[in-house]
A and B are shown apart, each in its own frame.
Chain A
Amino acid sequence: MTIPSEIPARIARFAPTVRVVHALNAIGFGLLTFTGAAMYGAPGTQWVGRRDLVRNVHVWVGIFLLLPLIVGLASSSGLRDDFRRLSRWSAEDKRWWFKSKRTEVRLGKFNPGQKANASFTLAALLALLGTGAIMKWYSPFGDDWRTGATFVHDWTALALGLVVIGHIYMAIRDRSALDGMIRGTVPSEWAATGRPRWYSEVIQASENDASDLGDSR
């Protein structure tokens, strides 16, 4: 493989659509966490109160939470590409979980921890949506299912909350990765060392683009 004459200091990681969807999802999830905690028990139920208003905000934000993701998937090939990468695990990804084998692994755009996080988060959001719908539109369901739905909703929310805290902690610890989501770019060096296979892909693609331009001239 030829080394390009000029390696850029930063390379693009997340498309604008991906970042907007992520931001809207984060805002929505923040509102749901706040209103959910305020309905769940002490101290939120007492400090925030306003049960009727809080419930309505929770329900409406919940209904529309996945809308940005759906619109984004329909309109952005960049988001579809990320979605696909997050859902697919290479044989190398599977080896990554064994610390002793990690040195042999050249990662793609995401590490397997990020992939597991994305899958869990999507599953949890869908479970919260489904159980929340049973809690809100309860008439067709008996007590057993309503209690079961509340049970799943509460525990899933707790688990997802912990996972999101972990997600934020990891992002703060790795400023370059965080930059990828906030500014859209990451330092080339970070990509070359942390995500070498994805880095090669990006460099290759930019070279191809450059030679395509050359041909058309």
Chain B
Amino acid sequence: MTGPVRPEDADVTDYVGLLDVDERLGTRVGRRIVLGLMGAGAAGIIFGRPIQEKTAQVISGVPGLNQLPVGGRWRIYTVTGGLPKRSQADYSLRIHGLVDEELTFSYEQLLELEPTHLTKDFQCVTGWRVEDVKWTGIRLADLLDAAGVQTSATALRFFSFDGIYTESLTLAQARRDDVIVAYSMLGDDITRAHGGPVRLYVAPMYGYKSIKWLESIEVTDEVVPGYWERRFYAVDAWIGNSNGRNDNPV
């Protein structure tokens, strides 16, 4: 024990005794607070998921509380310094690379093609999931057929007009019925924040595969890992079977 007890410091209010005189000799309340809160934190790690899901249900209906840390809502991510902007009028989608005919679609031309409607969840690899999102777009397979994929091709590379983001899919993955070039989500035009006017929606894979602000698709003879895939994310990003996660498949 350090810190001398000074009897001369005691006055009449020190009725609890001389040990009270030096604050360095008090009880270790601070340690109890720290250990108690650490225990609460550990409990939060173990039981946080069910608590969060319950809280999300309660809070989702209350306006103004949707910024609180609960799951079940969109979080807008971008890897550049802001949200890129392109109007529907200025928009075009180019399909090039190992194709018989390089094609460019305007926004209007995309809307004239046969639409596919999906109502499916969006699952982010960081943990949040938005259920039953309405999507409308053109099956990617239809666009590829229109351009004519050459026999040497095995994969696709997607480029965003944010100038940085890229993604990849194998041809087999890209030809699934639940992979669309989307121009509508949540029952409306795709907003700038959600990657409008046109984005990809790869239903069975984590969100980083559903590239936003889609500008062009290159048909390639090998898989070229995309932006996050070069940063340790899975290339084959199946929901519930990659990135060390076991979410329910979509």
Residue numbers of A with Cβ under 8 A of B are: 1, 40-42, 45-52, 81, 84-93, 104-106, 108-110, 115-116, 118-120, 122-124, 126-127, 130-131, 134, 138-139, 141-152, 154-156, 158, 197-198, 200-201, 204
Contacts and interface: CB of A to CB of B under 8 A. Distances in A.
B37 interface: yes
A77 to B, nearest CB: 10
Contacts, number: 172
A89 B27 contact: yes
Given A45-B78, A126-B38, A145-B46, A91 B9 contact: no
A87 B28 contact: yes
A149 B45 contact: yes
B193 interface: yes
B249 interface: no
B79 interface: yes
Contacts of A154: 69
A86 B20 contact: no
Given A145-B46, A151-B44, A152-B45, A87 B30 contact: yes
A139 B26 CA distance: 43
Contacts of B127: 143, 146-147, 150
A124 B29 contact: no
A164 B98 CA distance: 57
Residue among B6, B30, B127 with most chain A CB within 10 A: B30
Contacts of A139: 244
Contacts of A105: 13
Given A1-B8, A152-B48, A197 B33 contact: no
A142 B23 CA distance: 45
B79 to A, nearest CB: 5
Interface stretch (B80-88, B141-149, B169-177, B199-207): B80-88
A123 B75 contact: no
A11 B163 CA distance: 59
Contacts of B23: 85, 88-90, 93, 108-110, 197-198
A122 B9 CA distance: 31
Nearest to A48: B81
B43 to A, nearest CB: 9
A197 B67 CA distance: 45
23 contacts: A42-B67, A42-B193, A45-B75, A49-B82, A50-B79, A51-B79, A90-B20, A91-B16, A93-B26, A105-B13, A115-B29, A123-B36, A127-B37, A131-B41, A131-B45, A134-B45, A142-B246, A144-B46, A144-B49, A151-B45, A151-B52, A197-B21, A197-B23
A204 B6 contact: yes
Contacts of B76: 41-42, 45-46
B26 A89 contact: yes
A49 B78 contact: yes
B77 A45 contact: yes
Contacts of A92: 13, 16, 20
Given A91-B16, A109-B23, A148-B44, A51 B78 contact: yes
Nearest to A135: B126
B27 to A, nearest CB: 6
B6 A145 contact: no
A167 B178 CA distance: 52
Contact of A130 (B16, B41, B231): B41
Contact of A127 (B16, B38, B52, B246): B38
B78 A122 contact: no
A143 B246 contact: yes
A65 B17 CA distance: 40
